[in-house]
Structure 1
Amino acid sequence: MNAKAKFEKPQPSVSRGYEKLVHDNFAPLDALRAQRDDLMSVLQTLRATGGAAIGAKAKTLQGKLTAAEPSITMIGQVKAGKTSLVNAMVGWPGLLPADVNPWTSVVTSLHLTPDTLIRDTQAEFRFFEKAEWDRLVTNGGRVGEIAGRAGSESEAEKVRQQVEAMQEKSRRRLGRKYELLLGQSHDYGTFDSSLIERYVCLGDAFDSQTDATRANGRFADITKSADLYLERPGLPMNLAIRDTPGVNDTFMVREQITIRAIRDSRICVVVLSAHQALSTVDMALIRLISNVDARQVVIFVNRIDELSDPGNQVPEIKASIERTLRDLNGTKDFEIVFGSAHWATAALQTDAVPLTQDAIASLKNWGTAHRGKFPGLTEHDKILWKLSGVPELFEAISRRIAAGPGQEALDQVARRAQNLAYELKSAMRAPTQSAPTEASISPDEAMAQLEKLRSDGGAVLQGVLDEHLADFETRMQSVHRNFLSRATAALVTHLDAHGEDVVWSYDPTGLRVLLRSAYQLFAKRAVQNAKEAFARAAQEATALCRNSGVARDAVFKITPPEPEKPAPPVILGQTIVLDLKSNWWSKWWRRRRGHSAFSDEFYELVKAESLPILEGLSREYAEPLRAALLTQFSEFLQEQHEALQRMARADPAMDPQRDTGQARQDQPRSTQDIDRSLEILSTMVA
């Protein structure tokens, strides 16, 4: 049950000049936006020309097109300036708190729209479920689990005590509401930064004697996610920017949250600090994004305003990052952008954020390095905005949207619109205008066969996908066993050569690479088989419509959907004990005595640590892809069954007045409109 709360302060308007500054930052989306406008016009034609049924479906597709919202997930360690960058990207400096307590683990999604907001709710805050808290208390989170498996009970107990202390503090702060709030949410009709701080920024100085509803961090301990809705007229389309918590927290709560956020988003921005690019913590980030297609990732190196000589230092930092990425992961093709959230903020509020002398010196240095790159720009704030790197970041994001999720969303709608247009064109032909061939089956027989196709074809596809899933799980188990055997053999070799006093560790990269290959093979096979099944089903459905005589147009055809995209296997980057080259591993090593104890306990430790990754790959990635493809197949043929029914009746596909003299007079014009619509759609669905 959600709590609808009141908040009196109105949402402030966007920072001065934001629309002007971002106006030209999204050029790669121009072509996509033009296609979207054409498609919206086609759908409007279908609504105006078709009857209630087709009009309703066209309206639904317009809604899908309007609601399409590519999401960009921002990840990075604390103090990289990620939240300040997000605030600048949405044109609201200070909106999200940049300094948060290490316990804050909230994913904040900022939903941006160029249109007028018509939502009653503009801010939604969801709290953790009770089961999630129970797991944290019982095990101490991921770190507690790792410590327990590593045999470090004292470390595990220390973690549990810290978690319990935090929870007790939350109980004191929230009183009787503590248990009641878990699993619930708070919704507001408007918001500002002070409201957000109640849910995102942890405040230790909460005073029950003060206005409790205004206290910073009142609910932050138990807040899991926040969704904020903002009007941003300067944007070309809806966008969602997800600000994730930094990953360098003690309990790895944030790592799990970040993994889920990356999995659910097709575009990822990794924010690094120019001072400490690719630190140990950053390498954990690289481990996560190495499982994402490089074409979907942008690396933004922030805080160059704090470099003394960015003109010369930035190329050195870039070369170092590229070299490290190649050496550690064989990763390449990540686009790297350098900039300063501080400069972007200053561009948005030139009279409110004075730059320090050092920042001004750094800016002049960076400006000299970019001399001549911004021809025609004379306004101070526009130049500052360009130098901040945010426009370049927006352009990089736009290219990825245009080539990925944005184009895919448009394509899916266009395919369904094309099917509606062909159906409508066929229905426009009077029954006396016979089909190209005589009907060989009745419409009722065609519908029965179409239903059988949905059932039998779905069973065949399910069997194929089940085989691929079983093969995938067999491959994973084989990879896992071989890895454990090799790692244990390497340990024994080390013990024989160096004894028990020399600490040894084993790199799990090989395991991750082989598991990723196994998942990618499964996903490739599953998607390809689904695509073939969709194509066959479309061909057979087209033939049934023709053979039954309901498809009265010679060029009638049914277009299959594109299969769902597999989620990137980000879980492979999850930290396991072999990644911890720290005191914990040394302590584990020092407590072992005897070759047998080392090898046996090492085998069981690594097995227990890596099994959750295998299980997660199957349960959270492979199985959902299988289910999504089967659902897509069934829903596609259900749509064709409904379309065949409408064409068999003919009249419901058309305007209820189609049999009047006026309708017959207008029919040639309507047919021409549909023909033009089909021409537009054919260029989109190639």
Structure 2
Amino acid sequence: MDEGRRQELVRIAEQMSQTASDEAKPFISRILADLKSLKPGVAFVGQIKAGKSRLINGFTGQANFLPSDVNPWTTVVTDMHFGHPSGRTNGGIFHFFDNAQWQALLSEGDEIRDLLPDAEDNYKRQIIEEQIEAMKTRAKARLGDRYEDLLGTSHDLEDLTRDDLARYVSAGTDPEDEASQTDGTAAPYYSDLTRKAEVFFEQGHFAFPMTVTDTPGINDPLLIREEISHQYLRNSDFFVVVLSAHQALSQADLKLFRLMQALELGQMVVFVNRVDELNRGVEDAASVHADVHAGLERALDSNRMTVLMGSAQWAHYALTGDATGIDHDQILAWLKAHPQKMQRFLEGVERLKQTKQDGAAESALRLAAMIASGLPDLRSHVMREMSMGPRSERIHIAAQHLRNFANSELERRRVHLKIVDDETAEAHFAQTEDKTRAQLSQLVLDTKDRLTTGAETDMAALRQELDAVVRSTVSTVVQGEDGVSPLLSAGGATELDFGALRQTMRERLLDAAHAQRQKMLNELFALDMQSNAALAESGAANADAPLNVDASALRWYRPDTSILTRGITVELRVSWLARLLKQQSVVNRGEQMITHEFQSIANDLVNQFHLDLTSRLNTVMEHHLAVLATRFEELDATQTASRPDAHAALENAKRLANELEELFEEGIEPVQQLEAVT
């Protein structure tokens, strides 16, 4: 239904743009572009050798597309586009690094490492820098004089073979070995220079267009791969975190989860792969599932994480018929242990009996493997969660915006028909509507000024509130609740716990956001009342099309709190003996430095909140002014003023408004869901 609504909105928006007012056309064009580009992405992340590539092959139904042998990839992120907005369904584009992007690998990596400081960060940075230089060296050895020319460019292949893919994303052999084994005519490997690969497919069995991303992997001896995986986390809407049943929730996995939590990435699901390799099958799997749930709850303070289990190997067999290593008894035991899966299998077998005579037995075995693999459940879960998340919100907002423009266009056409029917009414309408439009526009500008000024005052108060919280909490932690400062510990290195302070700052920000949102919504509701009263007084009101401000951008706003995850590092550089001699001096110095760090965090937090809120308020007001302009804009004087034409234009506007109203009513408003999480 979600994708159907999007396609209908695209169709309606395209029709509306043909007859829209000059004021409305730019807005409708932006809405149309946003709807067409609405292609959410799901990234698969996890440790190397967790079976990620084969799992993606099963998830997408593209068996054997991504190589799943040992160590096939270099640093390349691979985006698999299904139903791309461009309409492209085959081939691939391979983007090459330029010198600035090489450097960005280090600078962006520094930002991410600052979120979760690690004792080995400096060492890791040095190793990553060396590995980047090694990649450059290998690329130069392979590509020779072409290296400089290729920097920052891309290759676009209309048709793509597995060999082509390997040349751009697979590590290959050492360049010197390649040179000795070929006569120089073989196609070169570009993998060390390739930054990202994009490959294109039909939409297939996905409910809506989407991108599936394979990341290089974490906990890789080649640290640059892990670095790129971390940096790409911000680029997707949904994440499948792949764990191995042999070592589910290792320290490397937990670090990845903490980083994703620090980045506030939002939607994710955990998939524990390789259950087919567990010694005691279902019994071991139940234990692993319980351990993963408990571990996530302890580490992340979250018991809401969905954990699915299955086998990419079983899905591979289901898709290809390759029965190597497949134990059918094990698959049957898995189905028996999961009644819902068994029921789906039995229903599928009945359909096979009715539709397929030859090879029905083999098809049944492969069907059992696919259902047991957990891939259908994973796909359904991802589709459902993505439909209910940001994608649904953007579609809903687009529908609201288009509906407002359609209603304003309808009013404009009604006025035009009255003018055509009674030429003496033209001057009256022009005078009345100019006055009404000016009055309504001034109401909007006055409301915006009040809200902007009020927000600035409230931001100043929030800064003072957070500053007081920082000073008080830092003092308590550093001085020690019992009067003995942790900084005077004889252990040397001291770790101070400011988790409670970060949580308090987050809660204060969310409370302030809720108050600001409510204040603005109340003012905008008052603006609605005043505007419709002015319309009624001028005689231009229409009970079927009241004038309402679309406040969606504010109603669903939730501030970004990722700044709160910023790490602080305070190096006192004082020996233990010096601490004993200058105890109070050390403690006071530490308190001042830490207070300054958190004051900086609080200031950045409020600045970002203010910037985002102001931007959304401006969007709401600009949109409403455009709606007003549409409602009162005079039609082009060169247009035919015959009654049939005016009546046809009115009927077209009415049809589009009705279609949007019906489509809007079919959707599920996400307001309650989004308000609940704030």
TM-score, L = length of structure 1? 0.74
- CA separation of 1:465/1:92 partners in 2, compared to 1, >3 Å: closer, same or farther? farther
* Counterpart for residue 647 of structure 1: 631
Distance between the aligned counterparts of 1:293 and 1:142, measured in 2?
15
Contact 2:311 2:373 in 1 (8 A): yes
Whichever residue aligns with residue 638 of structure 1, its letter is: E
* Counterpart for residue 205 of structure 1: 174
Whichever residue aligns with residue 315 of structure 1, its letter is: A
Q: State the percentage of identical aligned residues.
A: 23
* Counterpart for residue 311 of structure 2: 340
Contact 1:76 1:246 in 2 (8 A): yes
Contact 2:77 2:196 in 1 (8 A): yes
Does residue 1:367 correspond to 2:335, yes or no? yes
2:661 to 670, 673, 678: 678
* Counterpart for residue 550 of structure 2: 560
Distance between the aligned counterparts of 2:651 and 2:506, measured in 1?
56
Q: Matched residue of 1:301: which SS?
A: strand
Q: How does 1:51-62 map to 2 (within 5 A)?
A: 61-62=31-32
* Counterpart for residue 55 of structure 2: 85
Distance between the aligned counterparts of 1:452 and 1:393, measured in 2?
53
* Counterpart for residue 418 of structure 2: 431
Distance between the aligned counterparts of 1:439 and 1:77, measured in 2?
69
Shift of the alpha carbon at 1:338? 0.7
Whichever residue aligns with residue 203 of structure 1, its letter is: G
Whichever residue aligns with residue 556 of structure 1, its letter is: P
Distance between the aligned counterparts of 2:91 and 2:406, measured in 1?
37
Shift of the alpha carbon at 1:270? 1.6
* Counterpart for residue 16 of structure 1: none
Q: Tell me the alpha carbon deviations over residues 251-307 of structure 1, each in whole angstroms, 9 at most, x when there is no partner.
A: 876666556544454432221111111100111122134458898321111111211
Q: Tell me the alpha carbon deviations over residues 453-501 of structure 1, each in whole angstroms, 9 at most, x when there is no partner.
A: 665555554445555666666677677764597368599767877x449
- CA separation of 1:258/1:555 partners in 2, compared to 1, >3 Å: closer, same or farther? same
Shift of the alpha carbon at 1:393? 1.0
* Counterpart for residue 12 of structure 1: none
Does residue 1:486 correspond to 2:477, yes or no? yes
Q: How does 1:524-673 map to 2 (within 5 A)?
A: 524=514, 528=518, 531=521, 554-563=544-553, 565-566=557-558, 569=561, 594=577, 596=579, 626-652=610-636, 656=639, 659-661=642-644, 664=647, 671=654
* Counterpart for residue 287 of structure 1: 258
Contact 1:46 1:674 in 2 (8 A): no
- CA separation of 1:91/1:533 partners in 2, compared to 1, >3 Å: closer, same or farther? farther
- CA separation of 1:129/1:48 partners in 2, compared to 1, >3 Å: closer, same or farther? closer
* Counterpart for residue 323 of structure 1: 294
Does residue 1:243 correspond to 2:193, yes or no? no
Q: Matched residue of 2:50: which SS?
A: coil
Shift of the alpha carbon at 1:194? 3.4
Whichever residue aligns with residue 618 of structure 2, its letter is: S
Q: Tell me the alpha carbon deviations over residues 18-42 of structure 1, each in whole angstroms, 9 at most, x when there is no partner.
A: xxxxxxxxxxxxx434544664565
Whichever residue aligns with residue 333 of structure 1, its letter is: R
Q: How many residues are aligned here?
A: 635
Distance between the aligned counterparts of 2:476 and 2:185, measured in 1?
58
- CA separation of 1:32/1:637 partners in 2, compared to 1, >3 Å: closer, same or farther? same
- CA separation of 1:419/1:517 partners in 2, compared to 1, >3 Å: closer, same or farther? same
Does residue 1:405 correspond to 2:390, yes or no? yes
Distance between the aligned counterparts of 2:398 and 2:121, measured in 1?
54
* Counterpart for residue 389 of structure 1: 374
Shift of the alpha carbon at 1:198? 3.8
Whichever residue aligns with residue 477 of structure 2, its letter is: R
Whichever residue aligns with residue 403 of structure 1, its letter is: M
- CA separation of 1:388/1:520 partners in 2, compared to 1, >3 Å: closer, same or farther? farther
Shift of the alpha carbon at 1:337? 0.8
- CA separation of 1:383/1:203 partners in 2, compared to 1, >3 Å: closer, same or farther? same
Does residue 1:94 correspond to 2:64, yes or no? yes
Distance between the aligned counterparts of 2:464 and 2:73, measured in 1?
39
Distance between the aligned counterparts of 1:263 and 1:530, measured in 2?
30
Q: What CA RMSD, in Å, does the superposition of the two structures yield over aligned residues?
A: 5.2
Q: How does 1:371-520 map to 2 (within 5 A)?
A: 371=339, 372-374=342-344, 375-378=346-349, 379-429=364-414, 430-431=417-418, 442-448=432-438, 457-466=447-456, 482=473, 486=477, 499-500=490-491, 509-510=499-500, 513-514=503-504, 516-517=506-507, 520=510
Whichever residue aligns with residue 387 of structure 2, its letter is: A
Whichever residue aligns with residue 210 of structure 2, its letter is: L
Distance between the aligned counterparts of 2:589 and 2:127, measured in 1?
23
Distance between the aligned counterparts of 1:252 and 1:575, measured in 2?
22
More moved, 444-453 vs 319-328 = 444-453
* Counterpart for residue 357 of structure 2: none
More moved, 92-101 vs 406-415 = 92-101
Whichever residue aligns with residue 94 of structure 1, its letter is: N
Does residue 1:194 correspond to 2:163, yes or no? yes
Distance between the aligned counterparts of 2:646 and 2:491, measured in 1?
91
Whichever residue aligns with residue 348 of structure 1, its letter is: L
Distance between the aligned counterparts of 2:587 and 2:69, measured in 1?
40
Whichever residue aligns with residue 278 of structure 2, its letter is: L
Q: Tell me the alpha carbon deviations over residues 354-381 of structure 1, each in whole angstroms, 9 at most, x when there is no partner.
A: 2305x54542331331353314112333
Shift of the alpha carbon at 1:71? 2.3
Q: Matched residue of 1:377: which SS?
A: helix
Contact 2:76 2:191 in 1 (8 A): no
Contact 1:304 1:340 in 2 (8 A): yes
Shift of the alpha carbon at 1:676? 5.7
Q: Matched residue of 2:552: which SS?
A: coil
Distance between the aligned counterparts of 1:144 and 1:554, measured in 2?
56
- CA separation of 1:485/1:361 partners in 2, compared to 1, >3 Å: closer, same or farther? farther
* Counterpart for residue 43 of structure 2: 73
- CA separation of 1:33/1:480 partners in 2, compared to 1, >3 Å: closer, same or farther? same
Distance between the aligned counterparts of 1:230 and 1:641, measured in 2?
41
Does residue 1:354 correspond to 2:337, yes or no? no
- CA separation of 1:191/1:633 partners in 2, compared to 1, >3 Å: closer, same or farther? farther
Contact 1:291 1:569 in 2 (8 A): no
Contact 1:495 1:595 in 2 (8 A): no
Whichever residue aligns with residue 349 of structure 1, its letter is: T
* Counterpart for residue 15 of structure 1: none
Q: Tell me the alpha carbon deviations over residues 205-233 of structure 1, each in whole angstroms, 9 at most, x when there is no partner.
A: 235745688444x243x544333332123
Distance between the aligned counterparts of 1:251 and 1:478, measured in 2?
45
Shift of the alpha carbon at 1:411? 0.6
- CA separation of 1:539/1:44 partners in 2, compared to 1, >3 Å: closer, same or farther? farther
